């Protein structure tokens, strides 16, 4: 017997969350060991750990409460990592020294595994005078390029690339350049980007008024507000960025509006945070709490929900004390306010189980009730903690209760807070749960609809054979277990068949009871008209959302498997319903063995000003008639290069042996710049010796037919010839090579391995 509901769940646990020795030897023998490890670590800060550890473990059993990835992977391991997911860095001073101090802090935070957010509105616009040096400012986007380059070189904890959010106010003089910056697909790719939208701006848009672009009291330019809004909409329509954040609404609703001002969020937008703000995340698995699923009397177990929320709040509050922090300023900020972000996952599955169509008015009403119950239970649990352990240090009862979010809270909860205080300044947030939802048996992610009912995962074994695994949505699998081959009911709906305004309705219903914010993607069909697309954002504003993120398939961001909006679940062709377009999608289950002999080539690289040349040998493997790189050796007589070249060859070879689309290795190497300067080679500037090595590997990949050309993608690969239904190109996951990338909760996420640069 196994605790996992699906093979992919166990694979995610083993790959992402299982505690192992440095050499890969498992320390967590089973997932039960993982639950025990987490419960023990979180209970350790209690006055009576032995009393609480079993309670905490019971919340984790059966995947009922899902701490975010940082906690699940790091708690109880004694590793130097933070258990917090989200950080917003300090306000960037408008000075060169302050800017690069901020860059250093960002690097230290990402090194420990935190995703970060920055507001670049504080940097003077391009062309503004720089006092004392007789020069013009290069503007915030030029410094964002520096941040982007830094992020590419930092591998954050858990083998995850750093993720960043950049925000800019809608009245900054460089906002027009900010809006279109990512129309260049090679620029700022480590950033998610959002424009901070103010209430006066939205009023000007609706009134078709003028709008001043201002910095430090000086008006640089006046535009029509509606033109600027349309520019944001056009860029988002074309390139899926920037998102919009309704920043005045966030500050008005913030429980802590009396002691902080928010100007940025974490990478996926669910955590608006002040300077040096930090937040940890966790999710209640709604799909595990439904009694009698798919029967006439199916309903969520309200008592179990309330009890689970109370336990989760206590566990997360303990993490504030148990966690390390990259910076002391982050530790002080977290402990002064004790912010937590408790959310949900599996909401769409739970709605299906009780017979409601996601996006309907009935489903939105039920979501409102469930979120209300969670908020109420969380706040009362935090009051109980305040009675026992004290309120958060900056608590001021009257100011706290005067905030916008507390105005619609139940009066008995308000009275309890007024009398006893509250332990945590903010308690609720709906975060990206792509990986942990797979770990919990492929439940629907966050408050998103079910993305696809099922798809087929093809795995390449070491002997060259292929096995197939069907990855099925949790609710769909439960329907099959209970009802056999009966057709899915008409109330089953997925992201491909859902109208965009139905997405907005669900986000707005949940937002009412979420004191932070929500990470959600509103999927739009490729052929949606521009006017209808703009209406999605205006509806999000009118219905009280704190932000809006959309995804419309296009040639720049790629496309995803789509299903006719008119088709009911029972009418969708089997091959589409199963996510199979007739293509081969192959993942390496483990590294391939090295044959006794391999074919390859050796290249000589002479770096200017270096006494000795570097020799790069690349050997290839042939699979299914295609040649692909398998290992790399780098040699030089220069002993200064010895340690890093050995490390580099081992890392690159390990990546190559995993299979899949490894062209990103070239991309990453070529992006590395040397602060001492690069060199001109064959009439082309190369920013570093590592970039030069990347160029050699790219040259070899082109020569063997693995890449189409310089700066281009795969030409042939043994794992797939993928022909999507809409005949548009699809992008492979850089982690596992699968063609299952989709926009989920504001970030491109792999449906096969759960990889996302944003989620924990």
The rounded distance, in Å, linking the Cα atoms of 399 and 391 is 14
E strands within 487-549? 522-523, 547-548
339-365 burial code (b ≥16 CB/10 A, e <16)? bbbbbbbbbbbbbbbbbbbbbbeebbe
Tokens of 389: 């352990």
Query: Could you tell me which residues come within 8 angstroms of residue 278 by beta carbon, excluding any fewer than 6 positions away?
Result: 84, 86, 87, 114, 325, 330, 333, 334, 339
CA–CA–CA angle 270, 144, 280 (5° rounding): 25
Yes or no: say if 208 and 159 are a contact pair by the CB < 8 Å rule.
Answer: no
Cβ count near 678 (within 10 Å): 17
Yes or no: say if 152 and 671 are a contact pair by the CB < 8 Å rule.
Answer: yes
Query: Could you tell me which residues come within 8 angstroms of residue 41 by beta carbon, excluding any fewer than 6 positions away?
Result: 75, 76, 322
E strands within 43-105? 65-67, 86-88
Pairing of strands 684-686, 547-548: unpaired
E strands within 262-371? 264-265, 272-273, 278-285, 290-291, 299-300, 340-345
Inter-helix orientation angle 302-322/361-389, to 10°: 50
The rounded distance, in Å, linking the Cα atoms of 356 and 348 is 9
Q: So which residues are the catalytic ones?
A: 266, 268, 270
Name which of 273, 203, 194, 235 is nearest 549 in CA terms.
Answer: 194
The rounded distance, in Å, linking the Cα atoms of 55 and 220 is 59
E strands within 476-536? 522-523
């Amino acid at each position: 017997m196994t605790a996992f509901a699906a093979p992919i769940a166990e694979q995610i646990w083993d790959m992402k969350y299982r505690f192992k020795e440095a050499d890969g030897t498992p320390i967590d023998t089973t997932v039960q060991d993982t639950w025990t490890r987490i419960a023990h670590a979180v209970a350790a800060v209690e006055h009576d750990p032995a009393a609480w550890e079993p309670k905490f473990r019971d919340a984790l059993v059966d995947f009922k409460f899902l701490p975010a990835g940082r906690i699940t992977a790091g708690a109880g391991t004694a590793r130097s990592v933070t258990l917090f997911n989200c950080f917003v860095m300090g306000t960037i001073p408008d000075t060169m020294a302050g800017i690069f101090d901020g860059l250093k802090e960002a690097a230290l935070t990402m090194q420990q595994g935190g995703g970060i957010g920055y507001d670049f509105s504080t940097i003077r616009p391009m062309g503004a005078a720089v006092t004392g040096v007789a020069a013009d400012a290069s503007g915030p986007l030029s410094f964002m390029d520096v941040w982007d380059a830094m992020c590419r070189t930092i591998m954050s904890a858990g083998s995850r690339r750093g993720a960043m959010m950049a925000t800019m106010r809608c009245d900054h003089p460089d906002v027009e350049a900010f809006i279109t910056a990512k129309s260049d697909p090679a620029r700022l790719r480590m950033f998610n980007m959002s424009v901070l939208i103010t209430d006066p701006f939205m009023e000007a848009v609706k009134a078709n008024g003028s709008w001043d672009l201002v910095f430090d009291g000086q008006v640089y330019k006046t535009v029509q507000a509606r033109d600027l809004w349309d520019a944001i909409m056009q860029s988002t329509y074309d390139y899926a960025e920037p998102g919009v954040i309704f920043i005045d609404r966030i500050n008005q609703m913030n429980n802590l509006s009396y002691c902080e001002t928010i100007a940025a969020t974490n990478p996926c937008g669910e955590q608006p945070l002040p300077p040096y703000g930090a937040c940890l995340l966790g999710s209640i698995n709604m799909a595990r709490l439904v009694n009698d699923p798919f029967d006439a009397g199916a309903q969520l177990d309200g008592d179990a929900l309330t009890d689970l929320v109370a336990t989760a709040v206590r566990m997360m509050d303990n993490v504030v004390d148990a966690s390390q922090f990259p910076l002391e300023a982050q530790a002080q900020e977290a402990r002064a306010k004790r912010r937590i972000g408790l959310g949900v996952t599996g909401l769409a599955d739970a709605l299906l189980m009780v017979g409601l169509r996601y996006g309907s008015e009935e489903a939105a009403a039920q979501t409102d009730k469930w979120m209300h119950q969670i908020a109420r239970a969380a706040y009362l649990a935090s009051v109980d903690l305040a009675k026992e352990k004290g309120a958060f240090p900056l608590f001021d009862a009257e100011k706290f209760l005067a905030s916008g979010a507390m105005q619609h809270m139940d009066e008995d909860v308000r009275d309890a807070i007024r009398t006893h205080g509250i332990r945590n300044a903010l308690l609720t947030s709906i975060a990206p749960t792509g990986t942990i939802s797979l770990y919990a048996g492929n439940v629907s992610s966050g408050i998103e609809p079910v993305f696809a009912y099922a798809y087929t995962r093809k795995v390449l074994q070491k002997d060259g054979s292929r096995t197939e695994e069907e990855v099925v949505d949790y609710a769909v699998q439960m329907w099959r277990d209970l009802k056999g081959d009966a057709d899915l009911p008409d109330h089953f709906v997925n992201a491909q068949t859902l109208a965009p305004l139905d997405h907005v309705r669900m986000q707005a219903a949940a937002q009412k009871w979420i004191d932070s914010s929500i990470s959600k993607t509103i999927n739009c069909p490729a052929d949606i008209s521009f006017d209808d697309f703009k209406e999605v954002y205006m509806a999000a504003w009118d219905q009280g959302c704190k932000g809006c993120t959309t995804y419309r398939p296009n040639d720049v961001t790629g496309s995803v498997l789509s299903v006719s909006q008119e088709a009911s679940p029972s009418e969708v062709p089997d091959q589409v319903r199963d996510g199979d377009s007739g293509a081969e999608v192959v993942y390496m289950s483990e590294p391939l063995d090295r044959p006794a002999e391999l074919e390859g080539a050796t290249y000589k690289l002479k770096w200017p000003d270096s006494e000795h040349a570097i020799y790069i040998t690349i050997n290839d493997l042939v699979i299914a008639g295609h040649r692909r790189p398998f290992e790399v050796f780098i040699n030089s007589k220069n002993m200064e290069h010895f340690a890093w070249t050995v490390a580099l060859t081992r890392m690159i070879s390990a990546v190559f042996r995993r299979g899949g689309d490894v062209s990103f290795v070239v991309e990453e190497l070529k992006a590395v710049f040397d602060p001492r300067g690069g060199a001109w080679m064959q009439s082309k500037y190369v920013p570093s010796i590592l970039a030069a090595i990347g160029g050699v590997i790219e040259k070899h990949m082109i020569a063997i037919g693995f890449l189409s050309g310089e700066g281009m993608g795969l030409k042939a690969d043994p794992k797939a010839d993928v022909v999507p239904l809409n005949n548009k190109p699809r992008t492979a996951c850089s982690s596992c090579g699968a063609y299952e990338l989709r926009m989920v909760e504001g970030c491109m996420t792999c449906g096969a391995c759960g990889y996302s640069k944003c989620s924990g």
